[in-house]
Amino acid sequence: MSGATYDTNNIFAKILRGEIPCHKVYEDADTLAFMDVMPQSKGHLLVVPKAPSRNLLDADATALAKTIPVVQKLANAAKDAFDADGISIMQFNEPAAGQTVYHLHFHVVPRYEGAGLKPHTGEMEDHGVLADHAKLVIEALQG
């Protein structure tokens, strides 16, 4: 670990506390999932354990064990919802690795044959589009 600590005012902590809105797709006792506001591809969402940790490096193993099945569930739902050809799971630790929000999260990024990714933390998506995409994921989760 770099020595940096967990900041309780990071943006995902605020989302978890309900202080900032999000386009939620899934929630259980330990996990929240919502659409990324700057999607790198159509349907990009984030899975966030509720337990506070800066990233994977300082995460509690029990929290991790609860999170990965949710990542799998959301990966399958996103693949179905957007008729994606594949799913990239991405997770960054510390600035040198591309992390910009310091509460552990897993990116679930639908991939489409022949299409690249938009830049990481690029353009903000329209909220109407994010709301529509969230609805599609929720429907896919309901099977």
Q: Which residue, 34 or 82, is less far from ligand 5GP as judged by CB? A: 34
Q: Please, what is the minimum distance in Å from the beta carbon of residue 102 to ligand 5GP?
A: 7
> Distance between CA 133 and CA 28 in Å, rounded?
20
Q: What is the DSSP string of 70-102?
A: HHHHHHHHHHHHTT-SEEEEE---SGGGT--S-
Q: Please, what is the minimum distance in Å from the beta carbon of residue 97 to ligand 5GP?
A: 8
The candidate with the shortest Cα–Cα distance to 42, out of 89, 77, 84, 90, is: 84
Q: Which residue, 38 or 51, is less far from ligand 5GP as judged by CB? A: 38
> Distance between CA 87 and CA 82 in Å, rounded?
11
Q: Please, what is the minimum distance in Å from the beta carbon of residue 114 to ligand 5GP?
A: 22
Q: Which residue, 84 or 143, is less far from ligand 5GP as judged by CB? A: 84
The count of other CB atoms within 10 Å of the CB of residue 103 is 23
Active site (catalytic) residues: 105
Q: Please, what is the minimum distance in Å from the beta carbon of residue 7 to ligand 5GP?
A: 13
Q: Which residue, 57 or 143, is less far from ligand 5GP as judged by CB? A: 57
The helix or strand, by DSSP H or E, that contains position 105, with its residue range, turns out to be none
Q: Site residues (CB under 6 A) for ligand 5GP?
A: 11, 22, 34-38, 92, 98-101, 121
> Distance between CA 37 and CA 16 in Å, rounded?
15
What one-letter code names the amino acid at 137?
Answer: V
